[in-house]
Structure 1
Amino acid sequence: MRKMIMGTMAATLALGMFAGVLSAAPLKYDVTQRALEIVVDGKKVPFTDARPIMDSSSRTLVPLRVVSENLGAKVKWDGKNKQAEIKKGTVTIKMKVNDSTAYINGEPKTFDSQMVMMGERTMVPLRFVSEALGTEVEFDKGAYFVYVKTPAFNESAVKLDEYGREIRTTNLPKNYKDFPYILKDVANEMYEVPFYIDEWSKERFASPAELSKSPHIIRVNVDGWKKKIEEYYGLVLNADYTSIDYDWAKNVRSYKNMLGGVESITSYVDWVRKNKIKVEGSLVAEPSIVYDDGTDYRMRTKFKFRIVSFDKYQNILYDSSFHLEKNANGPLPVYKKNVWYEGYADIALSSNNNGARYTPNLMLDNPSLFLKNAFIKPNKN
């Protein structure tokens, strides 16, 4: 599908300390886009609700709270004038919703994006605000990370992985030896999910620590696998009966190593329309957790989704195991409308071409968020 949608975002700003205003500005962005990650001074920013997006002009927009919580700025909201005041040190930025002119210490500055309302969140252009506050911003297209570095950050004082994220050596998971390193911003829960091991090929199993020593476990390959997984689930976790079409099915098919054509996927598209299914969600693949289950490579992912609407509780997600009642990790939920669920799944990668595992060309093999060792629970936040 990869459709650009035009939404009229009119909502009350709900950032805890702020009163709300209404906005009716169009925001063009792709709802099925790959999940974008923000890394500030070596730490990945957690997003419990609204995620950063990239608009149709390739500008990154983030929730306003990211500025206050992660860049150390103070933020005030002026509901009458629909204006945010962002202050840090001697720098004061004033921005209005849907206005491409901001004021930095009273001086007008035109920029190529806008502060907008999206649902119940105010979204601000990350690069403009960050650079105005004296921080550096860099986009890593391969990993799909945006790096923000503040002047106070001393890289030599911490150990970073090749993706610029801080490594920790304390409060380690019980199975820490199975991994090449442990990230400070990744919970032990994610590491301690048991690996899936193919019982028929278990002698060939290789943990992430073991596999990371292989010469072909390099960024160009891992980033390629990560990209396919995240783009696939950008589609699957954002099925919407009001906009889904057969191009969606063709795109989903393009990521899978499967027999047959697109017919089984187009039948799901028809079902989404008929059953008025709408799902929202995102998935992020962790490039440092890649292992060999004995048959396929697998990359660990963290996902969240909610089911917004349906008429009949049947085949809500494009996943043949959606109705599974339990897996190797125990019972699975019955999914309720408008409840966020989160979890971890190890997505298998394979190819029918010899040598593909030494390249970025592996495809998703029977991907599922519910099978094998997948772990899922309601989000308590």
Structure 2
Amino acid sequence: MAVIIMLTTMMVTNVTAETYVKVTVQGETVDFPDAKPFIDANNRTLVPIRFISEALGAQVSWNGDLQQATIAYDNKVIELVINKKEISIDGQTQVMDTQAILKDSRTYVPVRFVSEAMGANVEWDSDNYIVSITLEPEPADLKGMTNEEIIQQLKEYPYVENSFTNRIENNEWMVNRYGKDKLKEFVQIGKSYMETFYNVDYRIYNKADYIEKLKWFFLESSSWVADDRILRDNEDHINYWADMITEKQISIHTEFITDETCIYTNGYTMIRGRMNYIIESCNDMQWLKKYTRYGDVELGKNYTCVVDVQIITKAKKPDEKWETAERLLSDEHLITPLKEVK
């Protein structure tokens, strides 16, 4: 894949180590809540590794003993060590012209090298100090793959870390803790949710029935933040989506491939699966792209991605009327970028 990098000789004059820049990924501004990108003394743009990597659909882990950050992206493993100019990409070492650093308890890395390692196109607007990053992932080739092969492939991706618990327990631990039958029940919750929420056709769906089905996965007294970053009570969240299916004429069909061997925990119960889907109809794709990460696609084409569905136990209040599953939806984590299927 051709990579266009325009940051090699960033024509920046009279800047300091605290000159801040704006970063966009796929046209969307990346939010850096407590650590901002800046231009270092070598005129290189450094960005907080976690925020930029997650914006690109990658997972980041940190080894404090080695002072090493690891990025897992689409079967690639990228490793950087603090205060070192070397970057390892799938075991092959390259030398950068600046180094990863620790600043205000955050790991900063050169945006050009990290983006290049993930196959991105990067453009630099020197007048406005804007870094624009775009990804054009190659189509995924799933032809001939059996579900068993897909399940095996899912296990090759690293687990999602939980910064609050700093805990990871694998599937074997989950089996010993709960037993295979209980894990099958947990898997069914995640699979049913994905194949209910993202399986609907505005032309034939019954709104009332659809809403009742979705309530099974959500606690009445809790809330949800969609990708539009708006906090809604769960009832409002469900009703809003149900209304938009009709208003935006949405037709989407989804298959979520997983099984009980794909469960692990990081403090939450995580159900990993491959989401294969197609959006056949929507009269407002800009709205859909903003509302859900899965909307950033073209109509009528098949797409795939790996997703971790996060479910948790929540205490039900005595006055709540909904009947719910044993464990309820808490979040969705995109493990790989969206890819068109060949």
- Higher-helix-fraction structure: 2
TM-score by length of 1: 0.42
TM-score by length of 2: 0.46
